[in-house]
Amino acid sequence: MHTGRASWSDWIGSIGWLIGQWKAVDRTFYWSIPLIPQGATLADAGAGTYNANYVKAAKTLANAYPNAQIIYVRTGWEFNGDWQPWAASGKADAYKAAYRQFVGSFRSVSSRFVFEWTPNIGKQAMTNPEDAYPGDDVVDIVGLDFYYNHKWDNPDPASAWAWMVGQPYGLAWHRAFAATHNKPVAYSEWGVGGNGDGVYLASVTAWFKSQPFAYQSYWNSNSDYVGKLSDDQFPLLSAPYKALVASNN
């Protein structure tokens, strides 16, 4: 569940709206809630200026799911790039402080919240994402977002996969970093970008099956990244992905 970020009104209102849209579905939901919306600052977030908003959001979620033992929340994702309002390049300390205020506010409402910290794969605007790690006490799961983008990545799927694993701050680093901090891993955004990506998808599947992970979430959308599978725009990939989901791994 990705909530809004256009303003604080959108940030708050979209949570309740999504709860209403999906209230009849008996599933575990994984929430991606922006650390700050457009126009807000990391400095203010780190100073606690927005804590009342964080508490309000936490209460909305906790009240909506009174029987849930765990409520999964991801915030501040892809901070190491330059495209998010909470981009941490040159502001690592402010990012960490903001993240800690967010988690502390949510935990003041309920201990059922579980938090995911999620860099984007590779070297981005921020060379080393570890510089923005906010601390083991406020991170429960270490995530990683990774997409096979034919515009930037090797057009050969096997070579592209090898790079996804072995590049600096790639998939191998992700596992090692999480293990060092005794955290499970998750993959909250990933995608394939073409009908010929079967070898790549098979490699992702093998990677997921090779070690335990908390959860994975495919980018089933054509917004921002063209990767939707449910409409069969990539018919050679839809069935293998369904098999991956059915395997429950």
190-243: per-residue pLDDT in tens?
A: 999 888 889 999 999 999 999 999 999 998 888 888 878 888 888 888 888 888
Residue 227: predicted pLDDT: 79
Residue 126: predicted pLDDT: 96
Write out pLDDT tens, residues 166-180: 999 999 999 999 999
Mean pLDDT, rounded, for 34-49: 99
Among 216, 135, 210, 226, CA closest to 165: 210
Residue 237: predicted pLDDT: 87
Residue 194: predicted pLDDT: 85
Q: How far apart are CA 20 and CA 162, in angstroms?
A: 42
DSSP category for residue 120: B
C-alpha angle 199/153/35, rounded to 5°?
105
Place of tokens 């600052």: 41
Q: How far apart are CA 31 and CA 102, in angstroms?
A: 14
Q: What is the pTM of this model?
A: 0.95
Q: How far apart are CA 63 and CA 46, in angstroms?
A: 26
Q: How far apart are CA 132 and CA 147, in angstroms?
A: 21
SS3 101: helix
Enumerate long-range contacts of 47-56, CB under 8 Å, 24 or more apart.
Answer: 47/97, 47/101, 48/101, 50/8, 50/101, 51/101, 51/104, 51/105, 53/8, 53/11, 53/12, 54/101, 54/102, 54/105, 54/106, 55/105, 55/106, 55/108, 55/109, 56/12
**pLDDT for residue 249 is more than 70:** no
**Burial, 243: exposed, middle or buried (Cβ in 10 Å; 0-12, 13-18, 19+)?**
exposed
CA dihedral (100, 101, 102, 106) positive or negative: positive
Query: Please, which residues bridge with residue 17 across strands?
Result: none
Residue 248: predicted pLDDT: 58
Between the alpha carbon of residue 180 and those of residues 173, 174, 177, 183, 234, the distances in Å are 10, 10, 5, 8, 38
The answer to whether residues 209 and 203 touch, using CB atoms and an 8 Å cutoff, is: no
Residue 244: predicted pLDDT: 80
Q: How far apart are CA 80 and CA 123, in angstroms?
A: 8
**pLDDT for residue 97 is more than 80:** yes
Write out pLDDT tens, residues 14-24: 999 999 999 99
Q: How far apart are CA 14 and CA 143, in angstroms?
A: 23
